[in-house]
Amino acid sequence: MRFKTYKMEDVLETLIDYRGKTPQKSDNGIMTLSAKSVRDGYIDYSQCYFISEDEYKRFMVRGFPRVGDVLMTTEAPLGVTARLDRDDIALAQRLLTLRGKAAVLDTGYLYYYLRSPKGQEKLKERQTGTTVTGIKQAEFRKIEIDLPDIKSQKKITSVLDAIDEKIRCNKDTNENLYQQLFALYYYYCDSADGGEVELGALCQFQEGYVNPAQTRPEYFDGDVKWLRAVDINESFIIETSRTLTQAGFQSAKKSAFLFSPNTIAISKSGTIGRLGIVADYMCGNRAVINIAPKDPLLLPYIYAFLKSHQKEFPDLAVGSVQKNLYVSLLEPLPVKIFAPDTLSEFCNAGNAILRTIGNNCRENIRLAQLRDTLLPRLMSGELDLSGMNL
């Protein structure tokens, strides 16, 4: 597969840099995405606001985005990309909208190129700034990109899209399954007649205390998963963003203990009350509390209960300088008791739902690893798809 080198400015049909004055927000109108809305590979529509029709026309005077365009953050952090999946949208600061010239650059290929190690390296070479680093439109235009022919680009895009589509399907399936779990829980809550019991009677609690000194590099990047609040993901927690060596883990001394799989993690500070199901052995730092049902079969019951009260946890937290959620605040929470037959029925259904969700989460990790392994090899031509009929 042969490659030809171009400058970005020569292969882009559209390059819009949303800078300048912040648009005036409104209670309703046109949904507006900010840089916070662009996650790694998807758009988080919960991180958006609204502007009026008039403000939309004024602010978007430089061009309107459309479905399929690549969105890329220009700073803090630089180079986070996603593809736009709706066109009734406005875009705010620190975002580039990118669209390739159809004859020479497939926009989907550009999306994967920018996510590849080579693409990320190209962005960093052109970034400027000290306190806040980013890339200006003029510098982005100068980036050189090596492109195969358009037919090969489309083949590469189709292979990677197929993996991402399966990941999206699994996420959608999981979202539907969570809704089923919580709908079932609320249905049984309405008919519960067994009184109440304190959460502390049903669970054991452990607060994380593993906080190795950051000045000791030998404590990090080992085989012990280190759970922090940032890793609590409202789903199954399978991997952690940082790991510890055995020395780092043991630096906590008497507080060096591991959370077990099929228990629940909750964030006690920062974004208080985030929840996740621990899917592997891992230790936690001071921002995490682990909640383990005394009867493992009660996992979906306890998880659904905590989700039903999640919005209350920030108000439950205490502290003058920084608010924290403590075990002593969680233990007395009243839990509705289902009749034994009802509880058994709910837990059997709930555990089946959670097993499927967990399997889908694990498959998504494997798929993402496959995609990320293929990506640099396809972009470099090490894997040649030109002779394949796709």
Q: Are 219 and 248 in contact (CB under 8 A)?
A: yes
Same domain, yes or no: 222 and 110 = no
Same domain, yes or no: 329 and 217 = yes
Q: Are 83 and 48 in contact (CB under 8 A)?
A: no
Please say if the pLDDT value at position 95 is more than 90. no
Same domain, yes or no: 139 and 169 = no
DSSP for 77-108?
SEEEEEE---SSEEE-SSEEEEEE-TTT--HH
Same domain, yes or no: 271 and 206 = yes
Q: Are 148 and 106 in contact (CB under 8 A)?
A: no
Report the pLDDT averaged over residues 134-140. 91
Same domain, yes or no: 186 and 302 = no
Taking the C-alpha atoms of residue 81 and residue 145, their distance in angstroms, rounded to an integer, is 17
Closest C-alpha to 147, from 376, 371, 379, 386: 379
Residue 192: helix, strand or coil by DSSP?
coil
Q: Are 135 and 336 in contact (CB under 8 A)?
A: no
**What is residue 40's DSSP assignment?**
S
Which segments of 191-331 does DSSP mark as H helices, in order? Answer: 199-202, 246-250, 299-308, 313-316, 327-330
How confident is the model at residue 39, as a pLDDT? 87
Number of structural domains in the chain? 3
**Which residue's entry shows tokens 């609040």?**
229
Confidence (pTM): 0.86
Full domain range(s) for residue 359: 150-191+340-390
Report the pLDDT averaged over residues 345-374. 97
Asked if omega into 217 is within 30° of 0 (cis), the reply is: no
Report the pLDDT averaged over residues 160-180. 96
7-23 pLDDT, tens digit each: 999 999 988 876 656 77
Same domain, yes or no: 161 and 235 = no
CB count, 10 Å around CB of 42?
A: 16
Q: How large is the angle between the packed helices 150-190 and 299-308, nearest 10 degrees?
A: 90
Lowest mean pLDDT among 43-57, 154-168, 169-183, 236-250: 43-57
Amino acid of residue 120: Q
Same domain, yes or no: 369 and 294 = no
Same domain, yes or no: 213 and 230 = yes
Residue 177: helix, strand or coil by DSSP?
helix
Same domain, yes or no: 324 and 278 = yes
**Which residue's entry shows tokens 């189709």?**
158
How confident is the model at residue 30, as a pLDDT? 86
Q: What's the alpha-carbon Rg for the chain, to the nearest Å?
A: 24
Same domain, yes or no: 179 and 100 = no
